[in-house]
A and B are shown apart, each in its own frame.
Chain A
Amino acid sequence: MFEATARDHRNQRVQTSIRLGFLSMTLLLAAPVLIVLGALVYKGMPIISLDFLLGDPTHGMTQGGIFPALVGTVCIVVVALIASVPAGVAAAVYLSEYAPENWLTRAINLGILNLAGVPSIVHALFGVGAFVLFFGFGTSILAASLTLAVMTLPVVIVATKESLQAVPMAFREACWNMGATRWQTIRTVVLPNAVSGILTGVILEVSRTAGETAPIMFTGAAFFLPFLPQSVYDQTMAMSLHLFVISTQVPDVPEALPYGVALVLIGIVLVMNSISIAFRIWLRNRKKW
């Protein structure tokens, strides 16, 4: 009575082929990551050495290393984090712990969505107009970092807000019932329970910040400047802009050089991303409530 008919078999085959069709679409989307990584490793790996990482670019940037760009990127990222993490966490605390359901909160959420959606080159124009000219920072690490901080603010806000909201309401209620103020509750109960989620967002922001090019082109990153920055008011080289420059602006660059720079840049970005992803998965599995 329950034996499969020919029609059932056909249905089964159709289902399987539909499933495989969608799987292949997914794989086609995912394959480029592996191809790109493979090609960059294959062509860029031979040039990577300690001298490459710790040397200055020489011969009109056609030889030598990437040390000033590497240091510059680290500086820009660090200053951007100092500026954006406190603001982003504060914004997330407000949205998660205080904000009432009203038009202002909707406007804030729309602002965050737009801040994330505005083209990076428009952020660059903003950086030039606001930080370089209006606040008079000139083209400097400070101006570049602040531009990036504004741009990546949504990353911190969204990640932090999610991890704050994941802290069960009962934790807060228990704390309030002990007579704690709102801030005491946030400081001693909510934030400690959310800190690893916040860290995940921060790491993700590092990877975003390190890879951006357009926003720093006119606000603080220099084409060629083989010195290390002395203060936040100095210009600096940066990995992302360096890749752009040697692959489009400089003649007679040996083929392996830009591959090497791209590999180091994507290495930084992907290592940061992987840490963030692994951290998140570990957190989810460890969750006690």
Chain B
Amino acid sequence: MVPTQTESQPAAAASLEEADRRDLDWWIDKLVEGLVFIGGISAIVFITAIFVFITKEGVGFLGSRFDFSEFFFSQAWRPTSESKPTYGALALIAGTASVTGFAVLMAVPFSLGAAIYIAEFAPPKQREILKVLVELLAAIPSVVWGFIGLSMMNPLIIELFDVPIGLTVLNAGVILGLMAAPIMTTIAEDALKAVPDSYREGAEALGATRWQTIFRVTLPAARNGLVAAVLLGVGRGFGETMAVLMASGHSINVPDSVFDSVRALTATIAAELGETAVGSEHYQALFTLGILLFVVTFFINLTADLVVRGIRKS
């Protein structure tokens, strides 16, 4: 942060002359300070507003219809049933967890490997190019990823593994892994970059090879940043909507293998919200799923932030 302007001198001068120096420029300055302050707190206002508004829409369900054991332990998500609608989110939670878990398992080694290469090995020109490629990977919109899952990965998986359907945990997991990889790579690389060069020089002066330096010195020193990178990657995968909706098969199912179709929490909201009447039980139930998503991502981000803060302190 920028250190504050010294205020003692002007103040002393003012008392000396006993003059009111609050001219137009002074008032404009105060006005602008107020305006940018409003801009500054807008992030807090919006994040609070998001919570308030989704809770406002979902609270009816939480108050009257919500049943803890049904919601978390039943697989029966039948919100449109005529006789008795049920809202068991277990299969949706399992769907999200399996796809995200698979994606993170796929993406973590590659992302960390790429981060290590870019931060520790690559010569400057190469680093620039690789970073641009990673950035472009992050730029591909999620609906395009979903389309790729649908039109390219689907036939490929059917062909390769000889399975009847290719819209599965595997498909969505690979896609999601590719989507989560850039954020993990970028943040992990930043964490490695933040390790002071004197650490590396010290290790190499003691005769350690490059790899020994990375494995024994740099990686442990960057540990917190790497954990934060993985956490933010998990958050990214967890909240992804369109790609999962299109690539996971969207069938309510607790998966036994990566070749099962599943349905994610996010995808359920995206697929069903358009068909519900505002204020209906189903509509409120979807907002309740939204509250769940919000709370979980909030804690993932909070944890990542605390972990990063941990390195700054030490």
Contacts and interface: CB of A to CB of B under 8 A. Distances in A.
On whether the two chains bind one another, the answer is yes
Interface of A: 11, 14-15, 18-19, 21-23, 25-26, 28-30, 32-34, 36, 39-40, 86-101, 104-105, 107-108, 110-115, 117-126, 128-130, 133-134, 150, 153-154, 157, 169, 172, 176, 181-184, 186, 207, 210-214, 217-218, 240-241, 243-244, 247-248, 255, 258-259, 262, 265-266, 269-270, 273-274, 277, 281
A214 B239 CA distance: 11
Contacts of A36: 140, 144, 148
A150 B141 contact: no
B180 to A, nearest CB: 11
Contacts of A108: 40-41, 43-44
A214 B241 contact: yes
Given A122-B50, A214-B270, A90 B142 contact: no
Contact of B143 (A94, A150, A244, A277): A244
A153 B42 contact: yes
B39 A26 contact: no
Contacts of A18: 210-211
B128 interface: yes
B260 interface: no
Nearest to A214: B241
A40 B2 CA distance: 47
A29 B134 contact: yes
Contacts of A110: 301-302, 305
B50 A126 contact: yes
B297 A119 contact: yes
Nearest to B150: A247
Nearest 8 A/B pairs, CB to CB:
A90-B39, A211-B141, A119-B239, A94-B40, A25-B113, A111-B43, A129-B53, A22-B117
A11 B57 contact: no
A134 B278 CA distance: 12
A63 B150 CA distance: 20
B44 A25 contact: no
A162 B54 CA distance: 32
Nearest to A22: B117
B36 A93 contact: yes
A148 to B, nearest CB: 12
Contacts of B181: 29
B242 interface: yes
Given A93-B39, A108-B43, A118 B297 contact: yes
Contacts of B110: 25, 28-29
A21 B210 CA distance: 14
Given A33-B136, A117-B232, A247-B147, A100 B4 contact: yes
Interface residues of B, number: 91
Contact of A14 (B144, B146, B211, B242): B211
A240 B145 CA distance: 11
Contacts of A88: 39
A265 B287 CA distance: 30
A122 B47 contact: no
Interface stretch (B26-34, B81-89, B196-204, B216-224): B26-34
A88 B42 CA distance: 9
B117 A25 contact: yes
Contact of A30 (B28, B133, B239, B274): B133
A118 B57 contact: no
Contact of A32 (B1, B142, B178): B178
A63 B181 CA distance: 36
7 contacts: A29-B185, A36-B140, A39-B148, A94-B37, A211-B141, A213-B241, A266-B141
A264 B271 CA distance: 25
Contact of B246 (A210, A248, A281): A248
Nearest to A187: B32
Nearest to B131: A277
B53 A240 contact: no
Contact of A258 (B29, B57, B122, B147): B147
A193 B96 CA distance: 45
B235 A117 contact: yes
A110 B25 CA distance: 33
A145 B120 CA distance: 41
A122 B54 contact: yes
A19 B298 CA distance: 37
Contacts of A104: 41
B42 A125 contact: no
Nearest to B210: A15
Contact of B117 (A11, A26, A91): A26
B290 interface: yes
A129 B291 CA distance: 13
Contacts of B278: 133
A265 B239 CA distance: 22
B56 A129 contact: yes
A273 B54 contact: no
Contact of B287 (A14, A22, A125, A207): A125
A114 B301 contact: yes
Given A111-B44, A118-B239, A184-B25, A266 B54 contact: no
